[in-house]
Amino acid sequence: MKEDKKLSVSAIQNGTVIDHIPAQNLFNVISILGLDQITENLVTFGTNFKSDRLGRKAIIKVSDKYFKDIEINKIALVAPTAKLNIIKDFEVVEKREVIVPSEIVGIARCMNPKCITNNEHIVTKFKVIDKNGNVALKCSYCEKITDQQHLQIIR
Amino acid sequence: MKNKSLVSIDDYSKEDYIEILRVAAEFEKNPVQNILEGRVVATLFFEPSTRTRLSFESAVNRLGGRVIGFTDSSSSSVSKGESLKDTILTVSNYSDLIVMRHPLEGSARYASEVATVPVINAGDGANQHPTQCLLDLYSIQKTQGTLENLKISMVGDLKYGRTVHSLIMAMSYFNPTFIFIAPDELKMPEEYKLFLDKKGIKYEEHTELAENIKDSDILYMTRVQRERFADPLEYEKVKNVYILKNKMLDGTKDNLKILHPLPRVNEINTDVDTNHKAYYFPQALNGVFTRQAIMAKILGLK
C-alpha cells in the first residue's frame, strides 16, 4: 500500500505537502489557497487515498511554496484535520498542525444576507464555535451561525 | 457600564441587570430629574419604530436632555447613499449618546465600534433589542417582587421572536421554569433548548394554550405572524389557537401577569384588557423608567 501511495503523487524537493485533507474538501482547499490561480509553482494533488481517520483523504504538494499563518488559518475552516509537512531538500524539516483559531477575521462571509457585513464594506469577524463536532462560525456582528455547509471564503 | 455601549443583552452581567433595575425603580419614584441637562441624545431610526423611539425620547425629555435625530432613513443622508459608518462618525460629533434602530442585523455592533460615543441598540433587524429585554425584567420583578424561581409561559412565535430569546438568556440567571407554547412551525429553536439544557433549566413544550398556563407566574404573549408560514393553510389552522381570551384566565394564579412587547394585533382579546392580570400597558410605561436608568448608567450620572 505504501508503495502505491508514493507512486501516485511524486515527491518534491522543496515546498509544502498538505496531508490529511478530507477528500470531499480537496477542491475547497485548492480554491482557498488560490492554487487554481497559481502560475509558477508546480502543484500536484491526489485524492481518495484510504485513511483510517477520514475514510478518504486527499494530499496536495506545492513546490517552492511555504504558507503564512493566515493562509493556514483559512485551511482550518474546511480541513481542520490537515497536516502540513515543510520540505527542504526532499526532507521533512517541520511538521505543522492546522490550528483552528478562536477568531476569524476577514476570511469568511457571513451566511446571513441581512447581516451588516454583507451590506457595507466591513471586514467580517467571527468567533469559532463547535457545532455538533464541526467547526462553525458565529458572526461577531449579527450573531448568526454560519456552518460548514454554508461556508463561503472571501478571496 | 459607564461609557459602554449596550448592543446585546449578554453585554451585561447579572449584576448589571440588577443595578439597572434598582436605578429604574428610583426613576419610577422620581421620574423627573434634570440630570441630562445640557446633554444631547441622538435617536437614529433607520426604520420607523414609533413606540421605541417615543419611549426613549420621553425618557430623555424627563431627564432634561435634548434629542436630535431622524425617524426613518428617507429623511436622513442615508437616502443620498451615505454609509452607516459615515453617519455614525458624523453624529458622534453632535451627541453624547446614540440610540439607533436599523433593519440590518449587526448594524448596532458595527456602529458601536466606529462611534466615539456610546451606542444603545434599539433593535437591529431580527437580532437584538436589549432595552426591551431589560424592561421585561423590570416588569417581571415589579409584579412578582422577585426574579427568582418563577414559572414563565411564552406563547406564539417562539422561533423568530427576538424578545423571547433575549428573555430566556437574561432570565437564565434566576432559576426559572419555562413553558413554551407554540405551533410546530414556530417552536423554540434547538440552540436555545440546548442552552437551557446546559444550564440545567427546566422547560416544557406544548401546542395548547389554555390548559398550560394554570400555574404560571408570567404569561409572555407574542404575535403569530402570517408571513412566517410557508403554507397559508397552516397559518389558517393555528391563527386562532394562540389568542388569549379573558375566560382562559379563570383558575390561573392570582399573581399571574400578562406581558406583551406590543404592538398587539389580535393575539390578546380586548376583553382581557380590564382584567387585573393584564400588564402590557404598564409594561410600556416601565420601558421609560428602564431606559432612563440605562442612559443614566451609561453616561455615568447614576
- B42/chain A closest Cα distance in angstroms: 21
What CATH class is the domain A103-153? mainly beta
The pLDDT value recorded for residue A106 is 84
Q: Which of A124, A138, A143 to mutate to test the interface with B (most CBs of B within 10 A)?
A: A143
- Strand ranges (DSSP E) for chain B? 40-45, 66-70, 97-102, 119-124, 151-155, 177-181, 202-206, 218-221, 257-259
The pLDDT value recorded for residue A7 is 47
Please provide residue A50's backbone torsions phi and psi, each rounded to the nearest 5 degrees: -70, 140
The pLDDT value recorded for residue B234 is 83
Please provide residue B269's backbone torsions phi and psi, each rounded to the nearest 5 degrees: -60, 145
Q: Which residue of A has its CA nearest to B82?
A: A120
Q: Which residues of B touch A114 (CB under 8 A)?
A: 103-105, 125-126
The pLDDT value recorded for residue B232 is 87
Could you say which of A112, A114, A122 has the minimum Cβ distance to residue B110?
A122
Residue A53 pLDDT exceeds 80: yes
Could you say which of B8, B104, B127 has the minimum Cβ distance to residue A119?
B104
Sheet (strand B66-70) strand order:
B66-70, B40-45, B97-102, B119-124
More confident residue, A130 or A109: A109
Residue A1 pLDDT exceeds 50: no
Q: Which residues of A touch B107 (CB under 8 A)?
A: 116, 141
Give the B-side interface with A, CB within 8 Å: 8, 83-85, 102-107, 109-110, 124-128, 191
The mean predicted confidence, pLDDT, of chain A is 88
Amino acid at position B270, single letter: T
Q: Which residue of A has its CA nearest to B123?
A: A142
| Cell digits of residue B90 | 458624523
DSSP type of residue B39: -
Q: Look at phi and psi of residue B200 and say left if phi exceeds 0, alpha if psi is from -120 to 50, else beta.
A: left
Q: Which residue of A has its CA nearest to B8?
A: A143
Query: Residue ranges per domain, chain A?
Result: 2-97, 103-153
Q: Which residue of B has its CA nearest to A122?
A: B110
Tell me whether residues B105 and A121 touch, CB distance under 8 A.
Answer: no
- B254/chain A closest Cα distance in angstroms: 39
Tell me whether residues A142 and B84 touch, CB distance under 8 A.
Answer: no
Domains A2-97 and A103-153 share a fold: no
Q: Are A116 and A130 in contact (CB under 8 A)?
A: no
Q: Which residue of B has its CA nearest to A145?
A: B191
Tell me whether residues A142 and B83 touch, CB distance under 8 A.
Answer: no
Residue A4 pLDDT exceeds 60: no
Q: Are A22 and A75 in contact (CB under 8 A)?
A: no
Regions of chain B short of the pLDDT cut 50: none
Q: Which residues of B touch A141 (CB under 8 A)?
A: 105-107, 109-110
Q: Which residues of A touch B126 (CB under 8 A)?
A: 114
Q: Which residue of A has its CA nearest to B109?
A: A141
Q: Are B150 and B144 in contact (CB under 8 A)?
A: yes
Q: Please give the model's pTM, rounded to 2 decimal places.
A: 0.88
Tell me whether residues B110 and A142 touch, CB distance under 8 A.
Answer: no
Residue A149 pLDDT exceeds 90: no
Q: Pick from B79, B72, B86, B64: which is nearest to B299 by CA?
A: B64
The pLDDT value recorded for residue A155 is 65
Tell me whether residues B106 and A116 touch, CB distance under 8 A.
Answer: yes
Q: Which residue of A has its CA nearest to B85?
A: A120
In angstroms, the CA B282 to CA B272 distance is: 14
Tell me whether residues B127 and A143 touch, CB distance under 8 A.
Answer: yes
Query: Whose grid coordinates read 447581516?
Result: A115
Q: How far is CA B159 from the centre of its chain?
A: 16
Domains of chain B listed by start with CATH number: 32-128 (3.40.50.1370), 131-284 (3.40.50.1370)
Distances (CA, A) of A79 to A32, A59, A137: 11, 11, 14
| Cell digits of residue B64 | 432634561
- B110/chain A closest Cα distance in angstroms: 7
In angstroms, the CA B258 to CA A48 distance is: 60
Q: What CATH code is assigned to A2-97?
A: 3.30.70.140
Q: Which residues pair with B182 in a beta bridge?
A: none
Tell me whether residues A119 and B128 touch, CB distance under 8 A.
Answer: no
Q: Which of B5, B110, B113 to mutate to test the interface with A (most CBs of A within 10 A)?
A: B110
